[in-house]
Chain A
Amino acid sequence: GQSLEQPSEVTAVEGAIVQINCTYQTSGFYGLSWYQQHDGGAPTFLSYNALDGLEETGRFSSFLSRSDSYGYLLLQELQMKDSASYFCAVTERDDKIIFGKGTRLHILP
């Protein structure tokens, strides 16, 4: 079957670094995406990995290991505005996108 696993909640301190992990099991993997969603808002695209390795975009980085069916999102220099839910999502070869249940990130001052 198809499934994505990510922690339900993570807490970190303002200014620190946090890593949100995602493991997946799908039938035809094409790529892994990350989205941010604030309460009451729409999901916002953060990053996409199709190949193994690290992709860096400002304070956010995303990593993929296809052989391990694993990826993570790394958030550096945490700010209070980063408090949100973060979703990993797998794009499959038949164009389906499977989202994880999301990780709620709490940031403490």
Chain B
Amino acid sequence: DAGVTQSPTHLIKTRGQHVTLRCSPISGHKSVSWYQQVLGQGPQFIFQYYEKEERGRGNFPDRFSARQFPNYSSELNVNALLLGDSALYLCASSLGSTNTEAFFGQGTRLTVV
């Protein structure tokens, strides 16, 4: 079985642009969460979606948005990119609504120049 897959793996964007990151969860998992990880730090929680509804939101500005599709895949959108948005963006899927065991994808490395 495939694990959590994310695309693209690497991305370079210019300040002010918009970016869309994609995530496909493990088959059968209905919950998807997004995290931002800066080098040397722990993942920072951005969003959790379960059954296509937002269940949790971290302390990120409104420039960050996400959605979950009927097939449980998810997109993370970031508008008006800032240099500080450069990070590894991780997606994790879990079976139920409560993230007791999350399976992470390899992440998307976003560089904003």
Chain A contributes a number of interface residues (CB within 8 A of B) equal to 23
Pick from A41, A87, A99, A101: contact of B106, CB below 8 A. Answer: A41
Q: Mark A42-72, 1 if CB is under 8 A from B, else 0.
A: 1111001010000000000000000000000
Interface residue? A33 (CB, 8 A):
yes
Which of the segments B15-23, B37-45, B63-71, B78-86 contacts the partner chain?
B37-45
Q: Which residues of A contact B44 (CB under 8 A)?
A: 99
Pick from A44, A45, A96, A100: contact of B42, CB below 8 A. Answer: A100
Q: Which residues of B contact A35 (CB under 8 A)?
A: 104
Most chain A Cβ neighbours within 10 Å, of B55, B56, B58, B105:
B56
Q: Which residues of A contact B105 (CB under 8 A)?
A: 42
Interface residue? B107 (CB, 8 A):
yes
Q: Establish whether residues A97 and B42, one from each chain, have CB atoms under 8 Å apart when the complex forms.
A: no
Q: Mark B25-60, 1 if CB is under 8 A from A, else 0.
A: 000000001010000111111001010000111100
Q: Show the binding face of A for B, using Cβ within 8 Å.
A: 30-31, 33, 35, 41-45, 48, 50, 87, 89, 91, 94-102
Q: Could you list 9 further interchain pairs (A-B, Cβ under 8 angstroms) beyond the known A96-B48, A97-B33? A: A43-B102, A48-B101, A87-B43, A91-B98, A99-B44, A101-B40, A101-B41, A102-B40, A102-B42
